[in-house]
Amino acid sequence: MCGIAGIITGNYDLREKKPLIERVSSTLKMRGPDAKGEYVTKNTALIHRRLSVIDVERGAQPMHFGKYVIVYNGEIYNTDEVRNLLKTYGYEFETHCDTEVVLKAYDKWQEESVKKLNGIFAYAVYNKEEGSLFLARDRIGVKPCFYSLKKDLFAFASRIESLLCIPEIKPVVDERGLNEIFMLGPAKSIGSGIFKDIQELPPASYLTYKNGSVDVKTYWQLKAREWNENLDETVEHTKFLVKDAIERQLVSDVNLATFLSGGLDSSIISKVAADKYKNQGKILQTYSVDYVDNDIYFKKSLFQPNKDSDYIGLMADYIGSNHHNIVLENSLVAQALKPATIARGVPAFADVDSSLLLFCKEVKKDVTVCLSGECADEIFGGYPWYHRKEILFEDCFPWARSTAARRNILKDGFLPRGEEYIDNAYRNTLQKTSYLPQDNKTERRMREMFMLNLDWFMQTLLARKDVMSMESSLEVRVPFCDYRLVEYAYNMPWSMKALDGREKGILRKAFENDLPYEIAWRKKSPYPKTHNPVYFKCVCDLVKSALEDKETPLNEMIDKTSVYQLMENPDGMTEPWYGQLMQVPQVLAYIYQIYVWIKNYNVEFEY
């Protein structure tokens, strides 16, 4: 994995802007600490920072071929197939890295080439003769790509901070951006960069920049199709696709491990990986995260019915992995809220982000690549809102069904059109849903829920995983995001997906003979949060210091009295802010992260 950026401008000679190019490059250093490269002409700069994973010796970038130059971030999991196909057309290869394959595929098929790639990626191909640029992002949106179009300037980057280094791109946030932060956050709309001058290239899209204008097109979308498999065939097909996705993603020239929580998804990945490693005479490394004294303060809930620690050891012993349990200090999790926010470039996901940042930094001490179980819940119906009918058929985002918790901390009259903004965002997603004429009420709603989760909840988790891992110079792959699996799951009848009335029932059935019974049929448990009051106290102290800063515009938005009441009564929030992951400690942490973001980026507001 890597960090990429680029500038095309007629405002000045980029050959004379070495400090600017160095500044942009430095913001990408953690995404690519192993090497850096640049392609600079009068009007164009392409910037690359490399985290070496495949063909460490020869995969330097920017890479040239004919009239094209590429900067690329990602991993292609069908590299061999595409390379072999290109060889039939006479192409020769000097490396075995996927960058060369992507570049020569573009030379052969132009924008159609992106459809031939199975992987996670964001890359730019510059045409030196035309002065045009092709920018593409993977189907699911695992790898980030932001861009800005101003008069006589186009720029793109893996990070928002990189773009804000460019003088023409201002850290201004208007009412739309404020609605994203306070009414939808930590989620954000597809394509939003929060800042007025910045957009994100949507998943499954490519962009062409030429002669000062941008054209964005979608190259993949989910389509409803009839189901022609019986239950046994569906079980076998599910198992094949999951195993194939995992095994394809085990390719690496550097040390690789898996995250293991003791839940179904990470256990499946770890079992497949461990079996593959055993056949090669190797032992898989697995990693889990916990918090100091978390067992003492754990509270059972609908969303988290049991502790991960009860299952991790069972699974590690079962697959014979060399397991490492990383235990985080609660005060450090609070302190890491600031660097987590700065890394994201926008208000982040509270301690769900900061803990992952600390965890990844520890894992990176041993390995460079990990596999993680994100997105199985979204595509296989793992969340409670898929199964509780009183939530399922509510005409709203199921993880944030009310704005009461949000309105409670905001000043009266602030963002008066916030609810309308949320409703528009919700309905815009529903309009993307593809149905079959024969779909009944439940099947139609399950397709809608699939799209809502794909575009919102899943995007939030993927952005978190990419940024926090890459900020640690750790590459994390997500096999359940293989687009073939996503397409397959979208069309699977709900009665099969929720086999035996269980969340992810088909996935459990497919792997029940590969896992201990206790793991295969364990109730879903989310990413582990700290329950320790030490963390809560630390967050309260941070929020108090933020609210006491009279210079921050946050005080014009936040109702301080209500925030202090939350500190005094952490069980007082009855409506969810953002599903199971954001209770009062996380809401307070989010407020603090908004403050950090404003201060660090000198954010200006227009509303």
CB-count exposure of residue 34 (10 Å: 0-12, 13-18, 19+) = middle
Residues contacting 239, CB < 8 A, separation 6+: 510, 511
Rounded distance, CA 43 to CA 562, Å? 52
The tokens describing 52, both together, are: 């070496």
377 and 504 Cβ atoms separated by less than 8 Å: yes
Residues contacting 151, CB < 8 A, separation 6+: none
At residue 289, what are phi and psi to the nearest 5 degrees? -125, 145
CA distances from 588 to 22, 169, 223, 310, 347 (A): 36, 30, 40, 29, 12
543 and 588 Cβ atoms separated by less than 8 Å: yes
Residues contacting 478, CB < 8 A, separation 6+: 120, 142, 371, 372, 373, 374, 375, 462, 465
Rounded distance, CA 220 to CA 432, Å? 12
CB-count exposure of residue 478 (10 Å: 0-12, 13-18, 19+) = buried
Q: What is the 3-state secondary structure (H, E, C) of 438-473?
A: CCCHHHHHHHHHHHHHHHHHHHHHHHHHHHHHHCCC
- Look at residues 499, 512, 523, 580 and name the one whose alpha carbon lies nearest to residue 262: 523
**Would you call 525 helix, strand, or coil by DSSP?**
coil
Active site residue 97: no
Beta-ladder partners of 135: 124, 207
C-alpha neighbours within 13 Å on the C-beta side of residue 496: 20
Catalytic residue among 2, 360, 538, 540: 2
The one-letter code for the residue type at 489 is A
Cα 474 to the chain's mean position, in Å? 14
Rounded distance, CA 5 to CA 25, Å? 8
Q: How many CB atoms lie within 10 A of CB 218?
A: 12
Q: What is the CA radius of gyration of the chain?
A: 23
The one-letter code for the residue type at 105 is A
Residues contacting 18, CB < 8 A, separation 6+: none
Q: If you count them, how many residues does the chain have? A: 607
Rounded distance, CA 258 to CA 270, Å? 6
Q: How many CB atoms lie within 10 A of CB 552?
A: 17
42 and 15 Cβ atoms separated by less than 8 Å: yes
One DSSP character per residue, 325-370 reads: EEEE-HHHHHHTHHHHHHHHSS---HHHHHHHHHHHHHHTTT-SEE
**Would you call 254 helix, strand, or coil by DSSP?**
coil
Residue bearing tokens 């819940």: 377
Residues labelled as active-site residues: 2
